[in-house]
Amino acid sequence: MDYRIIHELPRRIRIDCGRALSPGGAAALASFLLGLEGVETVQASSLTGRLLITLDPPAKGGVLDKLGRLELSALPVSSQAPYGDTEEEFQNKLFSLVTRRIFTRFFLPPSLGLLYTGFQALGFIGKGLKALARGALTVEVLDAAAVSVSLAQGQSVTAGSIMFMLGLGEVLEDYTHKRSRAALADSFSLNIDTVWRRKDGEDQEVPIGSIRPGDLILVRSGAMIPLDGEVFEGEALVCQASLTGEPLPVLKRGGNAVYAGTVVEEGELVITASTLADETRIGKIISIIDESEGLKAKIQGRAERLADSIVPFSFAGAAITLGLTGRLSKAIAFLMVDYSCAIKLAMPIAVLSAMGESARRRILVKGGKFLEAAALADTVIFDKTGTLTEARPVIVKVVPTEGQSRREVLSMAACLEDHFPHSVAEAVVRQADQENLKHREEHSKLEYVVAHGVAACYAESRVVLGSYHFVFEDEKTLLTETEKELIERETEGYSAIYLAKEGRLLGIIAFTDPPRRDASSVIGELKSLGISRIVMITGDNRAAAGKIAGELGITEYYAEVLPQDKSRLVKEYKARGSTVIMVGDGINDAPALAASDAGIAMINGCDLAREAADVVLLSSNLGSLCHIIRIGRGLLSRISGNYRKILLVNSSLLALSLGGIISPGTSALLHNLSTFLLSSASSRPYLPDYMGELNQER
């Protein structure tokens, strides 16, 4: 196996495997290394594909040699390690259930066995009565009826078998559901128990739960940052791949923000904690996972409502069968083979599986209904800057008006823009620095208007810098015919901002924001997926917008769009009957993201956009948009297929029971077994070789 040593101490080595790992693969690799002589502990991250190994120094050479000769594909992939608590709980429940059944069936005297069965039945009957009290004919009522009828017939063995199978079904359902959720949460979990806290100049290892905001935490080279915070002192290269997908480390120094789950590759940091352990960005992601089950796909909700509506027909079928045959054993078959059990388990697991696969592809989905919306979408609307373009504008020309110098215009603009993190502002400041222009702070009363521009008092005069709409329409800057011709000539094919002082134009700064390298191929792929309408909206002028749209093959675009108009356009498309995906990354995109059927934000976008979005692309790969559409379509296909299989299997079992070929107990066994198998099949990957593709992206 190819690997790279990132950091090395006498007893500790951090290794990059050069590839992403599945949770099972990471567990298998950790298990292999722990079996080698001299290895004390191993931490394996499936997100970053990295290993942290502590070992005896003399054993290091042998361990690295074995690691180099290892074929990862040859390891038995463990699916249990990442979900140990769930596995242990399942095994304990299963052992207890089977042991009780064997003891009561074969070793308990008949009289005591009957008493125990009757006592056990009270729980099932109680659940059924509670459901009836709510006016609901649910699965619990079916179960209670089947057990009660068997006991009324004096068939305590049959009643016991029915309750055993129902109990087994509950254990299997609970296990399958918890394991699916655990697999999803494990995609983001940190598994950090202790941290080094610096207090009064001393470093002490303490439980992470004891850390409070404001505490100082020491993070050494090779360690994972445990909490969100700000660098108090030190300097280090930090790998943020777990959050951004960007493989190159980022330099962090005093005052910079750092996030839980990222890794210090080189250097040492003392961090002022800003959050508690469950309030980190990754903690919030896991909270979204917990809350997302309420955001069900419509098709899932329809299937579950249909499942509940089938219950009365099961009772009707049982009554008709009893009336025609006079045999309770055949009537019980209708009560034992219910369709809703499998529907209510397999459908949520299919959704959780889709969300889990999305997470492994670095896509955070906040609910199943957004996967469905992505699958059904026929319209994709892109914001231009930062989504279809690099969001790193380049200044192409600085054009002064008559009586001004180019240096004065650029220097004054850089002075105003130096305070704002906007990409255009950064481009202006960067150009001024490259030309060694001094842009001293000579302004006061600085005012920033979101998505428009900046105004300031500069040398006792009001100076404004921003968009055409802001400078000439909002600020009423005068514009002569000569200046209009100058603007038209110099900005053709480019975006521009304008500098004015006391209502008079001083200069024009033209810039371009090149398209993302993958934007054109993603647009083509969306068309191949059958997306009938691809739209670009931007606040840029029409010429600049048309240039980018032409390069990307987009025929429908809107230029000079104000922030409030973006959400209006989304609503207009929805009013025409379209299912709309909105993709954006800025503050002014948030209303449009919220208004769409599925709002998708980029990881490098602002916090407000990510909060408003339904889906967040956690990597810089725009192609993830196509992944989410494919996964959503796969989910709808799987849910529909599950529904057909459930009808076929359960109807077949019902026919066999009515024909006297199998008993009610056997019917219950096969019913629960088919439910478990179908639920397990629902957790299969939706797209082929997702780990392989992820490795290529990395």
Domain span at residue 139 reads 87-184+295-350+635-681
Coil/strand/helix, residue 359:
helix
Coil/strand/helix, residue 279:
helix
The pLDDT-based confidence of 29 (bands split at 50, 70, 90) is: confident
Q: Are residues 546 and 604 in the same domain?
A: yes
Residue with tokens 């950090």: 192
pLDDT at 195 over 60: yes
Query: What's the order of all strands across the beta sheet hosting 12-16?
Result: 4-9, 12-16, 50-55, 39-45
Q: Are residues 305 and 411 in the same domain?
A: no
d(CA 334, CA 325): 13
The answer to whether 686 and 634 have CB atoms below 8 angstroms apart is: yes
pLDDT at residue 172 in the model: 62
574-611: pLDDT as tens digits: 999 999 999 988 767 878 888 899 999 887 666 557 76
pLDDT at residue 693 in the model: 46
Question: 687 in a domain, yes or no?
Answer: no
| Bridge pairing between strands 580-584 and 598-602 | parallel
Q: Are residues 46 and 128 in the same domain?
A: no
The answer to whether 559 and 545 have CB atoms below 8 angstroms apart is: yes
CA angle 210, 215, 217 (to 5 degrees): 90
pLDDT at 556 over 90: yes
215 is catalytic: no
pLDDT at 287 over 60: no
Question: 59 in a domain, yes or no?
Answer: yes
pLDDT at residue 593 in the model: 87
Q: Are residues 449 and 303 in the same domain?
A: no
- Beta-carbon count within 10 A of 696 CB: 10
The pLDDT-based confidence of 368 (bands split at 50, 70, 90) is: confident
| Bridge pairing between strands 504-512 and 495-501 | antiparallel
Final residue before a domain boundary, out of 22, 54, 79: 79
d(CA 412, CA 298): 55
Q: Are residues 532 and 615 in the same domain?
A: yes
The answer to whether 305 and 340 have CB atoms below 8 angstroms apart is: no
d(CA 205, CA 226): 13
pLDDT at residue 539 in the model: 78
d(CA 263, CA 252): 11
Backbone angles phi, psi at 26, to 5 degrees: -65, -40
Average pLDDT over residues 122-143: 84
- Beta-carbon count within 10 A of 80 CB: 13
Final residue before a domain boundary, out of 251, 279, 307: 279
Share of the chain above pLDDT 90, in %: 20
Mean pLDDT of the chain: 79
Q: Are residues 507 and 521 in the same domain?
A: no
The pLDDT-based confidence of 145 (bands split at 50, 70, 90) is: confident
640-664: pLDDT as tens digits: 888 888 888 888 887 887 777 877 6
pLDDT at 615 over 90: no
- CATH number for position 216: 2.70.150.10
Q: Are residues 506 and 529 in the same domain?
A: no
- CATH number for position 508: 3.40.1110.10
What type of residue is 569?
A: L
Q: State how many domains the chain has.
A: 5
The residue from 383, 418, 513, 585 that is catalytic is 383
- Beta-carbon count within 10 A of 162 CB: 27
pLDDT at residue 20 in the model: 56
Helix axes 624-658, 328-336, angle to 10 degrees: 180
Average pLDDT over residues 621-627: 91
pLDDT at residue 579 in the model: 95
Q: Are residues 174 and 198 in the same domain?
A: no
Q: Are residues 585 and 520 in the same domain?
A: yes
Question: 581 in a domain, yes or no?
Answer: yes
Question: 243 in a domain, yes or no?
Answer: yes
Q: Which region among 176-190, 450-464, 676-690 has the lowest average model confidence (pLDDT)?
A: 176-190
Higher-confidence residue of 513 and 508: namely 508
- Which of 53-62, 79-88, 285-294 ranks highest by mean pLDDT? 53-62
What is the DSSP secondary structure assignment for residue 260, as one 8-state letter? T
Higher-confidence residue of 469 and 346: namely 469
**HSE toward the beta carbon, residue 251, CA cutoff 13 A:** 2
Core vs surface per residue 411-447: b (16+ CB within 10 A) or e: bbbbbbbbebebbbbbbbbbbbeeeebebeeebeeee
The answer to whether 553 and 346 have CB atoms below 8 angstroms apart is: no
442-458: pLDDT as tens digits: 655 666 554 567 888 87
Which residues pair with residue 14 across a beta bridge?
7, 52
In 3D space, the residue among 272, 265, 270 whose CA is nearest the CA of residue 221 turns out to be 265
Torsion over CA: 176, 180, 186, 191 (sign):
negative
Torsion over CA: 255, 261, 266, 269 (sign):
positive
Question: 696 in a domain, yes or no?
Answer: no
pLDDT at 320 over 60: yes
The answer to whether 184 and 23 have CB atoms below 8 angstroms apart is: no
375-418: pLDDT as tens digits: 999 999 999 877 898 767 889 999 999 888 999 999 999 888 87
* Predicted structure pTM score: 0.60
Higher-confidence residue of 145 and 240: namely 145
Question: 630 in a domain, yes or no?
Answer: no
Which burial class, exposed, middle or buried, applies to 68 when counting CB atoms under 10 A from its CB (0-12, 13-18, 19+)? exposed
Q: Which two tokens stand for residue 596?
A: 């769409």
Question: 506 in a domain, yes or no?
Answer: yes
pLDDT at residue 185 in the model: 53
The answer to whether 638 and 350 have CB atoms below 8 angstroms apart is: yes
Question: 161 in a domain, yes or no?
Answer: yes
- CATH number for position 567: 3.40.50.1000
- CATH number for position 74: 3.30.70.100
The pLDDT-based confidence of 315 (bands split at 50, 70, 90) is: confident
Final residue before a domain boundary, out of 490, 512, 534: 512
For 242-362, strand residue ranges (E) read 250-252, 257-258, 263-273
Q: Are residues 398 and 503 in the same domain?
A: yes
Coil/strand/helix, residue 398:
strand
pLDDT at 419 over 80: no
The answer to whether 49 and 19 have CB atoms below 8 angstroms apart is: yes
Torsion over CA: 511, 517, 522, 527 (sign):
positive
The answer to whether 137 and 131 have CB atoms below 8 angstroms apart is: yes
d(CA 540, CA 468): 9
pLDDT at residue 535 in the model: 96
Q: Are residues 259 and 149 in the same domain?
A: no
77-105: pLDDT as tens digits: 444 444 455 666 777 888 888 898 889 88
pLDDT at 208 over 50: yes
Residue with tokens 């796909």: 297
Share of the chain above pLDDT 70, in %: 78
Q: Are residues 15 and 154 in the same domain?
A: no
